[in-house]
A and B are shown apart, each in its own frame.
Chain A
Amino acid sequence: MTKYIIRRILGFIPVLFVIVLFTFVLMRSIPGGPFDFAGDKSLPPQVVANLEAKYHLDWPMWKQFLSYLIGDDLLGEEGTSRGIIRGDLGISLRYRSQTVNDIIKTTLPISAQLGIMSLTLALLIGIPAGIVAALNQNSWLDYTSTFIAIVFLSVPNLVLAPILIWVFALKLGWFPVATWAAKPPYLLGFLPQLDQLNLNYFKHAALPVFALGTSFSASIARLTRASLLQVIREDYIRTARAKGLRERSVIVVHALKNSLIPVVTVIGPLFAAVVTGTFIVEQIFGINGMGKHFVQSIGNRDYQIITGVTLVYGVILVTANLLVDIAYAWLDPRIRYD
């Protein structure tokens, strides 16, 4: 197993390299640059030239890429870039006093807090709902939970979130309208400070976590239901029943564990996606998460930010997938990696 994990981690390097290369080249090949215009105004060529020189955008593309990858000093050039191999993701071209590292350090923890709470809520609702529906197939319980799942799946957050704000914040006044209560610096780099971890924090979190969590819980519930239904028809379940096991242990010990494989499979990428920020929920609730940087930095042609956040997403995604693969071995005794 250890060997397998090491091999996989080594395999991350080419994957991440390709992610960086693709993002880097794709961004620079779309028309328009970060400094062509200020608002509606086109800038005089010498102003654009000054800006491009300052940020080394006048270098040939291969050189810019190397500078981004290994740093200016190793290239033998003057410059501030220390290269992503040394953890420097560069300077934002739009927010010019901020580095990409600063931006990620401020926004990723908030997205992660929101994402982890939402995912937990999704699992807490989705898995039991899926089990209940599967065990009572074609009963009113099944129909009700399927109906609710479909409703939450088909109402996008774009619609759900403003409704939640209107009902629970404006009309009932139970929760604040927007914003996130935790502020940097964070505990261990990503958790809210203990003195901020109070009722106020959870009141701020309630609506966005609900909006995000329910939409994921719906798909998890449906997946759990389908998978469990399939598993309980397997031969080994019949065997378990035949040897006289109690129904509860048949389901919990034998069926459920196995049926969670598809759920775990989707949780990996889902985890990476929610932890790095969800644009719409963060936007509507005015949460300073990382989601907006995936969208705005493309519009701004902020090359460094989009490459940086994509790289962070890539790292979390491959790591989550590795954890998923490790979980397979635990969930299904037939899976071995050695």
Chain B
Amino acid sequence: MSKKLFVLVALLVIVSALLAACQPAEPETIEVVKTVVVEKEGKTVVETVIVEVTPEVVEPEAAPVPVTLNWNWGTEPPTADPALATDTTSVDLIRNLFVGLTQFDPVTAEVIPYLATSWEQGEDEEGNQTWTFTLRDDIAWVNYDPTTGETVQVTDADGNPRFVNAHDVVYGVKRTLDPATGSDYAYVLYIIKNAAAVNGGEEGFTLDDIGVEALDDWTVRFTLENPAGFFPSIAGMWVASPMPQWAIDEWGDKWTEAGLIVTNGPYVMESWIHGSELNLVKNPLWIDADNVQIERVEGVMITEASTAFALYENNDLDTTGVPLPEIDRVKADPELSAQLYNAPVPCTYYYGFTNTKPPFDDPRVRKAFSMAIDRQSLVDNVTKGGQIPATSFAPPGIFGAPEPGTVGLGYDPEAAKAYLQEYLDEKGMTLDDFNAMDITLMHNTSEGHALIAAAIQQMWKDVLGVDVRVENQEWKVYLNTIKNSTPVEEMPHIWRLGWCADYPDENNWVHEVFNVEAGANRLRRGCVDPNCEEVVPSKFDELTFQAQQEQDPAKRAELYREAERILAEEETAYAPIYHYTAVNVTKPWLTRNFPPLGGNDFFNWTIDMDAKLAAQGQ
């Protein structure tokens, strides 16, 4: 008996020593009081001793590699603050971190519920249009703690967990409109009652005058300056997001740094090394967390498109853009061409005519120049990205946008020649006289714009026989040159610009860009004098105002179609060139969507991690 016990104890000691040696990291030993049976001087006694034991450590099973997306942000996002974002990189980041009141359907681009489950239109006592949004009550405000690696729900001063509520929305809207915030995009909220006055710092207006209020914790009501049927799509914009007042009050401008930032969306910010990398991890408390498959987003910031493409070819990135010089190679390569996709981008590339500068003060000249552009040939041979040739302004996916090619002037060399000849005959000019007017096309300095300008310059030469001089200027100098206050003598005749959707409605397009009263009107339409001190609205301008207030969607679409037609066909105030695309390659193991309005929603993507690891040779 005693011998057996002795052997048993001895065995246990040896085994435990062996086990201890096997463990990779040395676990701490702890002291334990134990009763043991020992043999002493030939006798078996029971003794109480203090022994050091190693606590049993359960070897964890090798954790599976998290589903990781290798992403290139392309540049340092200028901000993660919803009130301040103006660029696509920041907006991409924000839509993965924050929830909006509404969102756009990733397939149809319709406005669908998000934070708000429903909304209805009404009228206040003074007859102003109101929009009342009912919010869901289960979206948590969360913070990622870099020291523990955990995402925790934020609590208020009393220790209650914080959920996104109507007051956060009200605060967010007021913060964007507060002049002290200095938000570039505050103006898209000017449709809200008194918003422009408050943001403009008008006497007698305070933040409380803005037409937004929380009726209760889960209901928020907006009062508008003018009726706007498209308001639900504006309400979903990042500048109207709910924002965490307590965190912003505590940290000031630094509140968006990793570790401090409080968010409420599908992902949380794990780390952000400015200029170098920004990583996201899935928010486990997100309402739809079960359907978010990608657990980590490792994002680098490679500006150089050819380097990003090399990283892609090396399996270091899962999706990226294709630089122009590589497009032909990608199309020819059987493997890469299968990964190629031309994603729509809601932007339009156009040439503006200075409508008050001779000879472009005559619609026949503008028509001739627009109809002499072979847009299909330009897209096939120069830009090569499957862009959509444009004959009207708003691209597909925007509410009210005509189907491309159905409205406006296409390529028609004979008609173009005829229009120009008619103008020359009437003025008693020859082509040489016309060319002596030194027609100038200007664009901002960029290789891509230069290629396009050279191609179109040649088309004008071939079709019309006109000589056009191409000039370029650095971006900000250029924007300064083509602004409305530039004297007409210093304006180029033709200039290049692009326009991208803020929200998917024609109001954001023809009205905000071209309307002589409400829009930027760089084209100098309807001007009484060449420098456009005074303007006279035309049919087009009336139509866009009318469409803004119209409640019936079918009628609105019809009004916009007519406005687009007048602008492109009758007035030909500008020449649309193409609707943008993003030329993209995606690895076969990544399933991603390309929403019609652009944007990268990692929470809607999935990765076959086994295939990815196999390809990386791990």
Among A32, A54, A106, A169, which residue has its beta carbon within 8 angstroms of that of B310? A169
The answer to whether B476 touches A36 (Cβ under 8 A) is yes
Let me know if B477 and A46 touch, CB within 8 A.
no
B311 interface residue per 8 A CB criterion = yes
Task: Tell me, in angstroms, the Cα distance from A80 to B273 when the chains sit together.
Answer: 24
Instruction: Tell yes or no: B194 within 8 A of A by CB.
Output: no
Report the bound CA distance from A177 to B315 in whole Å. Answer: 10
Which residues A270-306 have CB closer than 8 A to chain B?
283-286, 288, 292, 299, 301
Q: Which of B57-110 contact A (CB under 8 A)?
A: 76, 78-81, 84, 86-87
Interface pair A44/B187, CB less than 8 Å apart: yes
Nearest to A92 among chain B residues (CB) is B78
Residue in A39, A179, A183 whose CB lies within 8 Å of B500? A39
Residues 471-516 of B contacting A (Cβ, < 8 Å): 474-477, 479-481, 483, 497-500
- B275 CB contact (under 8 Å) in A30, A91, A106: A106
**Residue contact B86 to A38, C-beta cutoff 8 Å:** yes
Tell me the complex Cα distance, A58–B196, Å.
20
| A288 and B276 form a contact (CB under 8 A) | yes
A-B pairs with CB below 8 Å: how many? 148
User: Smallest distance from the beta carbon of A196 to chain B beta carbons, Å?
Assistant: 13
Partner of A32, one of B86, B255, B313, B480: B480
Q: Does B138 contact A (CB under 8 A)?
A: no
How near does chain A come to B262, taking the closest CB pair, in angstroms? Answer: 14
Chain A residues whose C-beta falls within 8 Å of the C-beta of B303 in the assembled complex: 283, 286, 292
Choose one: B304, B314, B474; the contact of A283 (CB below 8 Å).
B304
Quick check: which of A97-105, A217-225, A255-263 contacts chain B, the rest being far away? A97-105
- Residues from chain B with a CB closer than 8 A to the CB of A36 are 476, 479-480
- A165 touching B201, Cβ below 8 Å: no
- Kindly report which residue of chain B lies nearest to residue A178, judged by CB atoms: B307
**Chain B CB within 8 A of A47 CB:** yes
Selected from A31, A41, A95, the residue in CB contact (under 8 A) with B274 is A95
Cβ contact of B301, chosen from A35, A47, A55, A288, cutoff 8 A: A288
Q: Determine the chain B residues whose CB is within 8 A of the CB of A170 once the complex forms.
A: 310, 313-314
Which residue of B is nearest A103, CB measured? B274
| B186 with A96: CB separation less than 8 A | no
Cβ–Cβ < 8 Å partners of A44 in chain B: 187, 190
A residues 4-53 near B (Cβ < 8 Å) are 30-33, 35-44, 46-47, 49-51, 53
Cβ of A203 under 8 Å from chain B: no
User: Does B200 sit within 8 A of A, measured CB to CB?
Assistant: yes
Closest-CB distance, B53 to chain A (whole angstroms): 32
Within B298-322, the residues touching A (CB, 8 Å) are 300-304, 306-308, 310-311, 313-314, 316
A236 in contact (CB, < 8 A): no
A269 at the interface (CB under 8 A from B): no
Determine whether the beta carbon of A39 is less than 8 Å from that of B274: no
On whether the beta carbons of B310 and A50 are closer than 8 Å, the reply is no
Judging by beta carbons under 8 Å apart, are B274 and A98 in contact?
yes
* Nearest CB of chain B from residue A53's CB, rounded to whole Å: 7
> Does A94 have its Cβ within 8 Å of any Cβ on chain B?
yes
Q: How far is the CA of A107 from the CA of B80 in the complex (A)?
A: 20
| Residue contact B300 to A179, C-beta cutoff 8 Å | yes
Chain A residues in 8 Å Cβ range of B307 = 162, 165, 177-178, 284-286
Verify if B554 is at the interface (C-beta below 8 Å from A): no
A46 touches B196 (CB 8 A): yes
Judging by beta carbons under 8 Å apart, are A50 and B179 in contact? yes
Query: Would B183 and A47 count as touching, CB distance under 8 A?
Result: yes
Contact A96 B78 (CB under 8 A): yes
Q: What residues on A are CB-neighbors of B86 within 8 Å?
A: 38-39
Closest to B260 in A: A97
Asked if B134 lies at the interface with its beta carbon under 8 angstroms from chain A, I say: no
State whether A31 touches B76 (Cβ < 8 A). Answer: no
- CB neighbours (8 Å) of B196 from chain A are 46
Complex interface: chain A residues within 8 A of B300 (CB): 178-179, 286
Produce 1/0 per residue, B311-347, CB < 8 A to A: 1011010000000000000000000000000000000
Establish whether residues A96 and B483, one from each chain, have CB atoms under 8 Å apart when the complex forms.
no
Q: Is the CB of A97 within 8 A of B81?
A: yes
Q: Decide if A166 is an interface residue (CB 8 Å cutoff).
A: yes
CA distance A178 to B477 in the complex (A): 33
User: Main SS of chain B's interface residues?
Assistant: mixed
Complex: how many Å from CA A162 to CA B308?
A: 11
A43 touches B184 (CB 8 A): yes
Q: Select from chain A the residue with minimum beta-carbon distance to B196.
A: A46
Q: How far is the CB of A76 from chain B (nearest CB, A)?
A: 20
Verify A165–B310 contact, CB threshold 8 A: yes
Known: A51-B182, A165-B307, A288-B276. A43 touches B187 (CB 8 A): yes
CB distance from A90 to the nearest CB of B (A): 13
- CB A92 to nearest CB in B, in angstroms, measures 9
Residues of B within 8 A of A189 (CB): none
Does chain A have a CB within 8 A of B199?
yes
Contact bitstring A73-115, B, C-beta under 8 A = 1, else 0:
0000000000000000001001111100011001100000000
Asked if A96 contacts B79 (CB within 8 A), the reply is: yes
Q: Which of A91, A179, A286 has the most CB of B within 10 A?
A: A286
* Whole-angstrom CA separation of A106 from B182 in the bound complex: 26
Is B18 located at the chain interface by the 8 A CB criterion? no
Q: Are A39 and B87 in contact (CB under 8 A)?
A: yes
For A183, give the chain B residue with the smallest CB separation. B273
Contact assessment for A46 and B199 in the assembled complex, using a CB-CB cutoff below 8 Å: yes
A28 to B421, CA, bound (A): 47
A172-187 to B contact mask, C-beta < 8 Å, 1/0: 0100111110011000
> Which residues of chain B (361-407) have a CB below 8 Å from chain A?
none
Contacts of A301 in B (CB 8 A): 476
Q: Which of A30, A91, A103, A106 contacts B477 (CB 8 A)?
A: A30
Say yes or no: A178-B302 contact (C-beta < 8 A), given A44-B187, A106-B275, A169-B314: yes
CA distance A256 to B520 in the complex (A): 68
Q: Is B231 an interface residue (CB 8 A)?
A: no
Min distance, Cβ B303 to any Cβ of chain A, angstroms: 6
- A183 to chain B: which residues have CB within 8 Å? 273, 276
From the candidates B200, B314, B476, B497, name the one contacting A31 in the complex (CB within 8 A): B476
Interface string of A146-157 (1 = CB under 8 A from B): 000000000000
**B276 lies within 8 A of A97 (CB):** no
User: Shortest CB–CB separation between residue A190 and chain B, in angstroms?
Assistant: 16
Whether the pair B314, A40 counts as a contact (CB closer than 8 A) is: no
Tell me the complex Cα distance, A157–B65, Å: 38
B25 within 8 A of A: no
**Of the residues A32, A43, A286, contact of B302 by C-beta under 8 Å:** A286
B253 contacts A by Cβ under 8 Å: yes
Bound-state CA distance A301–B474 (Å) is: 12
A contact residues vs B (CB 8 Å cutoff): 30-33, 35-44, 46-47, 49-51, 53-55, 91, 94-98, 102-103, 106-107, 162, 165-166, 169-170, 173, 176-180, 183-184, 283-286, 288, 292, 299, 301
In the complex, 15 of the A-B residue pairs with CB atoms within 8 angstroms, ordered by the A residue number, are A30-B476, A32-B480, A38-B87, A40-B499, A50-B199, A95-B79, A96-B253, A97-B80, A97-B257, A103-B274, A177-B316, A178-B300, A285-B307, A286-B302, A286-B303
Enumerate the 4 nearest inter-chain pairs by beta-carbon distance, A residue then B residue, closest first: A32-B476, A46-B200, A288-B276, A38-B86
New contact pairs (12) apart from A33-B476, A47-B187, CB-CB < 8 Å = A30-B476, A39-B500, A41-B499, A44-B187, A46-B179, A46-B199, A97-B81, A98-B274, A184-B273, A286-B303, A288-B276, A299-B476
